Structure 1
Amino acid sequence: GCAAYLDSNDLVDLRTLFNEGVHRSDVLVILATKGVLTRPWCLMEMWEAAVNEIPIVLFPVVGGNWTLDDARTLLSDLMGQMQGRNQWCMPEVMAHVGAQGVTDVREVEDVLLAHIGLVSSLERPGRPASMELDQRLCARLKRDVADLASWLPAHNKVVEQRLSVISWQ
């Protein structure tokens, strides 16, 4: 076996979650249920994993009502979607990423969608093709912007294949 870190509801200091948990992990496994991506600490854990090049594996929980389409919808429009799901989430997330110089929620969306592998293209309503946003994404994920057009669809294909295998519920 190998060591595992399980985050906790009793957590007093988020720095412990990042420094003792996410930053020291080889992989971040998200037990995917319908509401998990509406929790600010979950989005912040995924952000920290992404910018520290730690793979994220979504593992849908049987009976958890998680869907790939809903995850894409939510992470593609965090500000709009969170208004009806968890209105306190995004101020907390943006305060966390703001300390790292992020002021545009599209950057958070891009990093999560790309790193997790949920999309084959970053273009979506509210996020047109943008070299500036692509460059910021690649800087965060430590990727070459010239490879983005080929890496993103390939990564998405692998993730969708993985989800089709583990989502047989």
Structure 2
Amino acid sequence: MVDLRTLFNEGVHKSDVLVILATKGVLTRPWCLLEMWEAALNEIPIVLFPVVGGNWTLDDARTLLSDLMGQMQGRNQWCMPEVMAHVGAQGVTDVREVEDVLLAHIGLVSSLERPGRPASMELDQRLCARLKRDVADLASWLPAHNKVVEQRLSVISWQ
């Protein structure tokens, strides 16, 4: 845990932007998810840069981050206990909060509603508190942010 704190305090927290070299397995690594979590909480933009030949897809990333507990069972069973231990120390008890923060901050979705995550003012309020956003702006911010991210990804990954 000391090493991760150093990674966050001396790396992520001092960064202007967090660039993720997106490969199929990158989002199954607990330290990668935690770096993105810390970036989100500190309002540090995250840019996904798909690696040519890395087999990363936007749909797979959405699927994984929309159901971390279910998806990680077959991808990396040790990931979520480590992630939940870290975010649990910050008061998070519901994995949907982690999913919401990552999906919204990275810009992978235009709406937070998904199987297992119905419309919930309570979850929306927790998300906005973590991302330092006004809950009243969520319905317009999410689709606009998602559109920008998808446009960026279409330019970056056209190769």
User: What TM-score range do you get, normalising by the shorter chain?
Assistant: over 0.9
Supply the distance in 2 between the matched residues of 1:118 and 1:35 (Cα, whole angstroms).
17
Any idea what the Cα deviations from partners look like across 1:124-147, whole Å, max 9, x if unmatched? 000000000000000000000000
Any idea what the Cα deviations from partners look like across 1:139-169, whole Å, max 9, x if unmatched? 0000000000000000000000000000113
Q: Secondary structure at the match of 1:31?
A: strand
Q: Normalised by the size of structure 1, how large is the TM-score?
A: 0.93
**Percent of aligned positions with the same letter in both sequences?**
97
Q: CA deviation at 1:51?
A: 0.4
Supply the distance in 1 between the matched residues of 2:106 and 2:59 (Cα, whole angstroms).
14
Supply the distance in 2 between the matched residues of 1:64 and 1:12 (Cα, whole angstroms).
30
Supply the distance in 2 between the matched residues of 1:167 and 1:43 (Cα, whole angstroms).
22
Note the residue ranges of structure 1 that are not aligned, 5 or more in a row: 1-10
Aligned to 2:64: 74
Q: CA deviation at 1:50?
A: 0.2
Any idea what the Cα deviations from partners look like across 1:85-136, whole Å, max 9, x if unmatched? 0000000000000000000000000000000000000000000000000000
Aligned to 2:82: 92
Question: How many aligned residue pairs are there?
Answer: 159
Q: Secondary structure at the match of 1:57?
A: strand
Supply the distance in 2 between the matched residues of 1:125 and 1:44 (Cα, whole angstroms).
23
Q: CA deviation at 1:67?
A: 0.1
Would you tell me which structure has more helix in proportion to its own residues? 2
Supply the distance in 2 between the matched residues of 1:71 and 1:154 (Cα, whole angstroms).
19
Supply the distance in 1 between the matched residues of 2:148 and 2:61 (Cα, whole angstroms).
17
Q: Secondary structure at the match of 1:13?
A: helix
Supply the distance in 1 between the matched residues of 2:157 and 2:61 (Cα, whole angstroms).
14
Q: Normalised by the size of structure 2, how large is the TM-score?
A: 0.99
Supply the distance in 2 between the matched residues of 1:68 and 1:93 (Cα, whole angstroms).
22
Supply the distance in 1 between the matched residues of 2:2 and 2:140 (Cα, whole angstroms).
41
Q: CA deviation at 1:12?
A: 6.8
Supply the distance in 1 between the matched residues of 2:3 and 2:24 (Cα, whole angstroms).
26
Aligned to 2:91: 101
Supply the distance in 2 between the matched residues of 1:32 and 1:17 (Cα, whole angstroms).
19
Supply the distance in 1 between the matched residues of 2:3 and 2:156 (Cα, whole angstroms).
33
Aligned to 1:22: 12
Q: Secondary structure at the match of 2:152?
A: helix
Q: Secondary structure at the match of 2:2?
A: coil
Supply the distance in 1 between the matched residues of 2:4 and 2:138 (Cα, whole angstroms).
32
Any idea what the Cα deviations from partners look like across 1:47-77, whole Å, max 9, x if unmatched? 0000000000000000000000000000000
- 1:159 pairs with 2:149: yes
Supply the distance in 2 between the matched residues of 1:45 and 1:151 (Cα, whole angstroms).
23
Find runs of 4+ consecutive structure 1 residues off by over 2 angstroms.
none
